[in-house]
Amino acid sequence: MIDEALGILRRNNYKVTKQRQSMLEYLSNFQHHFIEVTQVDAYLRQLYPGVSHNTIYRNIEDFTRMGILEAINRPTGKCVKYQCDFQNHHHHFICKKCGRVQEIAVCPFDEQVKQQLAGCTIESHVFEIYGICAQCNARLKKETERS
């Protein structure tokens, strides 16, 4: 599961250390949910008590820049998830109730937006939709019917 991420590290001339491998193995459990960076930090510091917060956060930034992780900012802080699709550009629907993430295969970033930004160099973009997923809506409906 992490072979592709390890290949990306090697192609970017990063050593595959046991700490980086442990971080990737842990994060690979979070392809469909974002996790707070502080949770990643706590987990790794439990495994490797001598590793610094700076090292962990720097690796998270590097992994995000290389496309191994996806990041969002929430009011509680930065959250990351393991890249669910290394091959295709995509966006997400994020459930505000359970945190489940669904991939959106189409990109709403169209030519009209590019025309509005004529002369600009677009380096990247993020498109996220927030709401309540089908499973949570079904649960809420059952709870309401019982009341």
Is 107 assigned to a binding site? no
What does the alpha-carbon distance between residue 112 and residue 138 come to, in Å, rounded to a whole number? Answer: 37
Residues contacting 96, CB < 8 A, separation 6+: 130, 131, 132
Is 79 assigned to a binding site? no
Is 95 assigned to a binding site? yes
Is 120 assigned to a binding site? no
Is 125 assigned to a binding site? yes
- Binding-site annotation: residue ranges for Fe cation: 89, 125
Point out the annotated binding site for Zn(2+).
95, 98, 133, 136
- Residues belonging to the binding site are 89, 95, 98, 125, 133, 136
